[in-house]
């Protein structure tokens, strides 16, 4: 008759390994975390037991006992948007070879979801966090500040981050694209956007600023939808723009997918690019340089933001907080055929 015993996990534990190897549990623990601290003989015997038993350390017990985790939580609005795909590549490249692991959370552009995720993540006592943007809800801010682990905000730029920040100004970037179109002699420049998240709004502000500066601003030129962005949205957005302003002669888009969709739609309508119509995208995704014609776009450094942010959070976790907590990754206008109108500067 056994004692009052609870439901065990059923999986082998450190003690099981220890018994099989005829050592104490702590020795097995050491053999795993710090092999040099255990004699080669024992090390080998222990490894054999581990293999034969099929032991896998219980992360929860480790975390509880050590009061630490190696989890870096990353909260982004979408895993499937190609913009964040590049950020994620950067994250993985930075995490590679470190003892840390990443845990992604997808807010699907919802502030409520963001708060829920934040609570979920904080429950894991993460070593550090990456969060997207600088527009957290007051509750989210409260949670982050109270928790105290290193936090890096990414993608946007503000001057007073929660903790650290890696981003760029979407407003300035969009303004630069629009000014480029203006400099090429385009006058009726539309703005096409989907998704309408915070950063999209910032881009619209930048577009507006540039248009007003040139005395070209007309609110009818801004065509948006709250639908998630896809290439195929270029068609309806273009159609709407043409119906509002038939003599539109260029578009600045919120991202390259919309730009590519617009390009296809204009080709179908037999509108010649760049002569009758100029296009400037946003992000400079891989296909911009190979499309026909090539797409002018505003390059953003998504991979670098992900990589840099992880490097910074790891540095902070390790006690080497970067002396410069705000990093501006900037942007770059890349001019290609879609705006290379003959006879213009």
Partner DNA sequence: TTGTACGCGTTATCAT
Partner DNA sequence: ATGATAACGCGTACAA
Contact positions toward DNA, by CB under 7 A? 3-9, 11, 13-15, 23-27, 29-30, 32-33, 36-39, 41-42, 55, 57-58, 61-62, 64-68
Rounded CA separation 13/265 (Å) = 62
Evaluate whether 251 touches 178 at the Cβ level (below 8 Å).
no
Does 52 participate in binding a copy of itself (rule CB under 8 A)? no
Nearer to DNA, 36 or 160 (CB): 36
Which of 135, 158, 264, 322 binds a copy of itself (CB under 8 A)? It is 264
CA of residue 42 relative to chain centroid, distance = 45
Nearer to a copy of itself, 22 or 289 (CB): 289
Contact window for a copy of itself (CB under 8 A) among 14-22, 188-196, 213-221, 260-268: 260-268
CA of residue 101 relative to chain centroid, distance = 16
Rounded CA separation 61/65 (Å) = 6
List the one residue out of 39, 32, 37 whose CA is nearest residue 56. Answer: 32
Does 4 participate in binding a copy of itself (rule CB under 8 A)? no
Supply 94's token pair: 């930075």
Give least dist CB 229 to a copy of itself, A. Answer: 10
Does 35 participate in binding a copy of itself (rule CB under 8 A)? no
Nearer to DNA, 36 or 159 (CB): 36
Does 138 participate in binding a copy of itself (rule CB under 8 A)? no
Rounded CA separation 277/215 (Å) = 20
Beta strands across the sheet bearing 71-76: 101-106, 71-76, 128-132, 151-156, 164-168, 326-328
* Residue 24 interaction partner, one of DNA, a copy of itself, none, beta carbon < 5-8 Å per kind: DNA
Nearer to a copy of itself, 20 or 165 (CB): 20
Give least dist CB 331 to DNA, A. Answer: 43
Q: Is the peptide bond before 232 cis (omega within 30 degrees of 0)?
A: no
Nearer to DNA, 23 or 233 (CB): 23
Q: How many CB atoms lie within 10 A of CB 73?
A: 24
Give least dist CB 33 to a copy of itself, A. Answer: 13
Give least dist CB 131 to DNA, A. Answer: 23
Strands, DSSP E only, in 70-176? 71-76, 101-106, 128-132, 151-156, 164-168
Nearer to DNA, 5 or 345 (CB): 5
Coil, strand, or helix at residue 344?
coil
Q: What is the DSSP string of 186-208?
A: --SEEEEE-S--HHHHHHHHHHH
Binding region for a copy of itself (CB under 8 A): 6-9, 11, 54, 56-64, 67, 69, 79-80, 82, 85-86, 88-89, 92, 101, 103-104, 106, 108, 119-120, 122-125, 142-143, 146-147, 230-232, 234-235, 260-261, 264-265, 267-268, 286-287, 289-292
């Amino acid at each position: 008759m056994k004692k009052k015993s609870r439901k065990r996990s059923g999986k082998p534990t450190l003690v099981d390994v220890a018994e099989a190897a005829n050592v104490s549990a702590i020795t097995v623990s050491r053999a795993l975390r710090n092999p040099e601290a255990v004699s080669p003989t024992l090390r080998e015997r222990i490894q054999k037991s581990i293999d034969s038993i099929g032991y896998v350390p219980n992360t929860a017990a480790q975390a509880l006992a050590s009061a630490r985790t190696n989890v870096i939580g990353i909260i982004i609005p979408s895993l499937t948007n190609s913009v964040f795909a590049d950020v994620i590549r950067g994250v993985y490249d930075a995490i590679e070879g470190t003892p840390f692991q990443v845990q992604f959370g997808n807010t699907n552009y919802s502030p409520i979801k963001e708060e829920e995720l934040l609570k979920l993540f904080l429950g894991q006592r993460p070593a550090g966090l990456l969060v997207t943007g600088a527009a957290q809800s007051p509750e989210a801010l409260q949670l982050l500040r109270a928790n105290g682990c290193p936090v890096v905000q990414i993608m946007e730029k503000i001057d007073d981050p929660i903790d650290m920040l890696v981003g760029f100004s979407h407003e300035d970037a969009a303004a630069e694209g629009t000014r480029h179109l203006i400099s090429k002699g385009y006058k009726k420049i539309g703005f096409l956007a989907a998704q309408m998240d915070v950063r999209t709004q910032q881009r619209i502000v930048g577009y507006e600023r540039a248009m007003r500066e040139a005395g070209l601003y007309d609110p009818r030129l801004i065509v948006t939808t709250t639908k998630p962005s896809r290439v195929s949205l270029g068609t309806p957005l273009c159609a709407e723009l043409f119906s509002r302003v038939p003599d539109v002669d260029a578009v600045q888009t919120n991202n390259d997918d919309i730009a590519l969709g617009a390009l296809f739609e204009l080709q179908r309508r037999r509108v010649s690019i760049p002569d009758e119509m100029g296009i400037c995208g946003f992000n400079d995704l891989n296909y911009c340089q190979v499309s026909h014609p090539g797409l002018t776009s505003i390059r953003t450094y998504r991979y670098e933001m992900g990589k840099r942010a992880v490097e910074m959070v790891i540095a902070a976790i390790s006690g080497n907080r970067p002396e410069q907590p705000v990093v501006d990754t900037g942007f770059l206008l890349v001019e290609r055929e879609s705006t290379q109108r003959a006879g213009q500067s």
